[in-house]
Amino acid sequence: MLTGCLIPIVTPMTPDGKLDFASLKKLIDWYIGSGVAGITIVGTTGESPTVDFDEHHELIRVTVEYVAKRAHVMAGTGGNSTQEAIELTEYAKRIGADSCLSVVPYYNKPSQEGLYRHFRAIAEKVDLPIVLYNVPGRTVADLANETVLRLTDVPGIVGLKDATGDIGRATEMFKALRRRGKFEFALYSGDDITSLAYLLLGGHGVISVAACVAPAKIVAMCAAAAQGDIKTARAINDNLLSLHRRLFVEGNPVPVKWAMAQMGLISPALRLPLAPLSETFHQTVREALVEAGCLKA
């Protein structure tokens, strides 16, 4: 089971909107050197809705080849079309990704039965470990706990990225999985502000936006939580609290890309319909970076 911190890596772009693979490789080196367990490529933070099909493939390929087994590569292969999700997953499998992250279909508003059949169809078609991704704040559709539990019986579906931020619901999921003996089903927090609580309740790791700018600290927090060192984990989380909040003052990945540009890591370039971070929030995000030790005052 993959545990610890995974980076939902951004997709660096040049000012004219082209993919910036040189910057992507520098980020990969930094994150691996910081001790992350894995790289998640072309997820929500990686602007999957704004890259085309060929670019999506290329981002997965370059990442797999450049990581070269130094860390786990989890490829974002979800979609609101089951056939498209299957095709992306097949490509990720063929190119050598270690697993895939499959988001709940968005806009369609499928029923729970539709969601179950969607993920089952992918798993039955492609032999690549699938981590489900539930983020109802962005997809509208919400993968219910009961549906997740049904999907744990489908071979190839190995985990869940839970971005609901609902700790009560997460606790119920942990309890239900224990009752069923599903101890190998991986549970990852996808909500930074509640990630420490998620870990301490039984989560196996985090897929953290804050880790894009503070990877070593999130790695250390995960390690402390796993070792039962609550004092250390809490101190790290307290230091990052403003960052957890302020990296979401506008839709992800707008603030984190701006923050990374301030740190000299990438260009702040985005693709429409995403627009640059409003000047109203520049100081807000900068202060959080300073507090977390990512920037000098």
**Does 11 reside within a domain?**
yes
Average pLDDT over residues 93-103: 98
Domain count across the chain: 1
Average pLDDT over residues 87-111: 97
**Does 36 reside within a domain?**
yes
Residue 1 has pLDDT above 90, yes or no: no
Average pLDDT, the chain: 97
**Residue 287 lies in domain:** 4-291
| pLDDT, tens digit, 9 for 90 and up, residues 231-245 | 999 999 999 999 999
Question: Band of the pLDDT at 183, cuts 50, 70, 90?
Answer: very high
Question: Band of the pLDDT at 37, cuts 50, 70, 90?
Answer: very high
pLDDT for 130 equals 98
Average pLDDT over residues 133-151: 96
Judge whether 116 counts as a catalytic residue. no
**Does 220 reside within a domain?**
yes
**Does 28 reside within a domain?**
yes
| pLDDT, tens digit, 9 for 90 and up, residues 194-208 | 999 999 999 999 999
Question: Band of the pLDDT at 69, cuts 50, 70, 90?
Answer: very high
Residue 247: CATH number of its domain: 3.20.20.70
Catalytic pick from 31, 91, 116, 133?
Answer: 133
Catalytic pick from 93, 161, 217, 257?
Answer: 161
**Does 296 reside within a domain?**
no
Q: What percent of the chain has pLDDT over 90?
A: 99
**Does 279 reside within a domain?**
yes
pLDDT for 297 equals 79
Residue 90 has pLDDT above 90, yes or no: yes
Judge whether 26 counts as a catalytic residue. no
Q: Cα 154 to the chain's mean position, in Å? A: 22
